[in-house]
Amino acid sequence: MLTVRRCETVLRVPSYLLRVQLEDRPGSLGSLAVALGSVGADILSLDVVERGTGYAVDDLVVDLPPGAMPDMLITAAEQIKGVYVDTIRPHLGLLEAHRELELIDHIAAAPSAKKLQVLADESPRVLRVGWCTVVRLTDSGPERIVGSHGAPETQAAETPWLPLDHAESLDGGADWVPQLWRDMDTTLAAAPLGNPNTAVVLGRPGGPLFRPSEVARLGYLTGIVATILR
């Protein structure tokens, strides 16, 4: 007797992280939501990245129907007056509330030898970057202590920005930046971790540039982590 087993194909709904700049006025976000909905997009989360005089920069995680092209999001969004799409990239992370608090909790609960690795592994999701490393300046040059999944194997031979006193964005086109990083148009930010010679470095291949609020967020996070590590 021949048994036929029914096979079902599960289509993964693609998610994208859309960074947009829009006018900071009543109704602007609602208009954007309607425009994105018109192409079948489902908004899963929204984070305010920065707010200035008359404008806001928001990160939206959206789902698209299977087979839909992400360019549709750009076209739909920019039909609205005052809306500019900064970047769009695939979003593979989990959506969780209070991401920084959860990261801090995970680091605190990890064994001492694993705390830095937890920081590196979970920071890309929390801070929405491509990769994270922790580097230390030694007498023989910079040394990578840990790196996240996706951190480039090619390491910087020099780190003229170390020692570092405060969180700041780094020049991704500077001479010290490995050519591979530059080829991928990687934007960079760093913050001291406990002392000026040790730093957390974030990389975002393809951009966008780090906003001042994102750099400040990195600084606050590393300050708390440094206290835990002590």
Residue 114 token pair: 């694993």
Please tell me which of 24-28, 48-52, 196-200 the model is most confident about, judged by mean pLDDT. 196-200
Name the pLDDT band for 49 (thresholds 50, 70, 90): confident
E-strand stretches of 64-186:
84-90, 131-138, 141-147, 168-170
Tokens linked to 115: 């705390």
Least confident of 9-13, 57-61, 127-131, 189-193: 9-13
Element (H, E) at 108: helix 99-109
Residue 52 has pLDDT above 50, yes or no: yes
Q: Helix, strand, or coil here: 72?
A: helix
pLDDT for the residue 89: 87
- Which one-letter amino acid corresponds to residue 29? L
Q: Which domains can be identified in the chain, with CATH numbers?
A: 15-90 (3.30.70.260), 99-229 (3.30.450.40)
User: Closest Cα partner for 42 from 19, 71, 21, 73?
Assistant: 73
pLDDT, tens digit, 9 for 90 and up, residues 77-90: 999 999 999 999 88
Q: What are the tens digits of pLDDT across the range 76-128?
A: 999 999 999 999 988 866 544 457 778 888 999 999 999 999 999 999 988 88
Q: Are 136 and 145 in contact (CB under 8 A)?
A: yes
Residue 13 confidence (pLDDT) above 90: no
Q: What is the CA radius of gyration of the chain?
A: 20
- Mean pLDDT calculated for residue range 215-230: 88
Structure confidence by residue, pLDDT tens digits, 184-217: 999 999 999 999 999 999 999 998 999 888 898 8
- Residue 204: enclosing H or E segment and its boundaries? strand 198-204
For the ranges 34-38, 64-68, 98-102, which has the lowest average pLDDT? 98-102
